[in-house]
Structure 1
Amino acid sequence: MATEKLGITIEKNPPESKLTELGVRNWPKWKLVPVAKFPWTFTKKETCYLVAGKVKVTPDGSDESVEIEEGDLVVFPKGYSCTWDVSVPVDKHYYHSDASLSSQENTSLVFGVFSKCQSS
């Protein structure tokens, strides 16, 4: 079950059937081998699945942070500004979307359609 914290949606260890439905394994990959700390702004809505890694995400203007790690499916809204503090090298699949959807359920619907289009 997905939960929202500090403006991002996180689903811990989603079932493989959901990852297949979303087409996650066909999304582009991004890796960050050294540990690092850096500011980041998402210019598009991003859904990502962490294959490996651990990151503490701190939204701009906040003292609170949330940790994302291997096995997490995460949705960052367009325009989300934060600091990434990478403690374990990251390997992730990601998908960018400009759609402004309000719920994880709608996100799943869109990605299900995306996945079906990919296989046609």
Structure 2
Amino acid sequence: MAASSSDPSRSPAGLSIIVESNPSNRRLAELGINSWPKWGCPPGRYTLKFDAQETCYLLKGKVKAYPRGSTEYVEFGAGDLVIIPKGLSCTWDVSVAIDKYYKFESPSPASSSS
């Protein structure tokens, strides 16, 4: 069963992939995506673990992401803004080569004792 953007897939740990389809140019500008690094990959299957929250905007491509421990998947592609939570392990089944902007959540500043 596929999960839609209004019903994000949940892994056993309760982590959800959130997909915002076709965000406005204003929203993309507010996020500053044009200053984010770019990444791409060819079609294939990739096992990924996210050690930080990732927000990405797909310029090209199509993916079915299968969170570990779930039988459901989240599908996203060109024109989608996607938020992948920290701690999620999943398999990406890439059917069309990916080209995306991405940004990882900055780690919280460590407290220092002086």
- Give TM-score scaled by structure 2 length: 0.81
Alignment match of 2:85 (pick from 52, 74, 77): 77
Q: Secondary structure at the match of 2:60?
A: strand
Q: Which runs of 5+ in 1 are unaligned?
A: 101-120
Q: Distance in 2 between matches of 1:4 and 1:11?
A: 11
Q: TM-score scaled by structure 1?
A: 0.77
Who is 1:25 aligned against? 34
Deviation, 1:79, is 0.7
* Aligned pair partner of 1:56 in 59, 64, 73: 64
Once the two structures are TM-superposed, the CA of residue 38 in structure 1 deviates from its matched residue by 1.6
Residue in 1 that maps onto 2:54 = 46
Name the residue aligned to 2:111: none
Q: What one-letter code is carried by the residue in structure 2 that aligns with 1:81?
A: S
AA partner of residue 20 (structure 1): A
Match of 2:102 in 1: 94
Alignment of 1:8 with 2:17, yes or no, is yes
| Alignment correspondent of 2:12 | none
Contact preservation (8 Å) 2:58, 2:100 = yes
Match of 1:66 in 2: 74
Q: Cα deviation per residue 1:5-59 (whole Å; 9 max; x = unaligned)?
A: 0111110000001000100111000011x21102100111100000000000000
Aligned-CA RMSD value: 1.6
SS in 1 for 2:27: helix
| Larger-gyration structure (1/2) | 2
Moved over 6 A (4+): none
Task: Supply the distance in 2 between the matched residues of 1:89 and 1:30 (Cα, whole angstroms).
Answer: 11
5+ residue gaps, structure 2:
10-15, 109-114
Percent identical pairs in the alignment equals 49
The equivalent of 1:116 in structure 2 is none
